[in-house]
Amino acid sequence: MKYQVGRTGRVVIARFEDRDDVLGNLVDIARKENIRAAVFYLVGGMREGSIVVGPEKDEFPPTPVWRHLGESHEVVGFGTIFWLEDEPRVHFHGAFGKKDMVKVGCLRENSETFLVLEAVVMEIEDVTAKREMDPVSGMVLLKL
């Protein structure tokens, strides 16, 4: 295990409107505000999204199993923002529910708000954490 100790910096509250790009807007906030490290919470609705619900097999590199929302879902979840070179990268895991069905996974593509989605972004100061390509997994992972 590796870890760093930081402190909370600025707190950004955002409201995403109907059809807003969730992942794209989180990246825009990090870029515009020069937030180099952060945690965030999302709560509200999404109408579109592609999530990874685990690897096909427990092997490296992992082959992701994809699920698509394709219609409105309630969403709640937690994520992080750290930079890969000169670009903020978002990592978000959430629960996506519709009627009696719930999907849990890592949101990676096609993130579109349904009606309204609220975000609370909390900057982490005094850490050097960043993202780097991991050659073994083929994934962009956190490096401390």
In the prediction, which pLDDT does 137 show? Answer: 87
Instruction: Give the other-Cβ count within 10 Å of 134's Cβ.
Output: 14
**pLDDT, tens digit, for every residue of 93-142?**
999 999 999 999 999 988 999 999 999 999 999 999 999 999 988 899 99
34 by Cβ neighbours in 10 Å (0-12 / 13-18 / 19+) ranks as exposed
Residue 134 Cα distances to 46, 61, 110, 116, 140, angstroms: 30, 10, 24, 35, 6
CA dihedral in degrees (34, 1, 58, 23; nearest 10)? -10
In the prediction, which pLDDT does 79 show? Answer: 98
Domains of the chain are: 7-143 (3.30.1330.80)
CA gap 81, 67 in Å, rounded: 23
In the prediction, which pLDDT does 60 show? Answer: 85
In the prediction, which pLDDT does 13 show? Answer: 98
Angle at 74 between CA 46 and CA 113, to 5 degrees: 15
CB 105 within 8 A of CB 95: no
**pLDDT, tens digit, for every residue of 18-53?**
999 999 999 999 999 999 999 999 999 999 999 999
Can you tell me which residue has the tokens 């590199």? 61
**pLDDT, tens digit, for every residue of 39-95?**
999 999 999 999 999 999 998 889 999 999 999 999 999 999 999 999 999 999 999
Q: Is 28 helix (H, G, I), strand (E, B) or coil?
A: helix
Q: Is 51 helix (H, G, I), strand (E, B) or coil?
A: strand
Q: Is the pLDDT of residue 9 over 90?
A: yes
In the prediction, which pLDDT does 67 show? Answer: 96
pTM of the full structure: 0.95
In the prediction, which pLDDT does 32 show? Answer: 98
Chain centroid to CA 24: 10
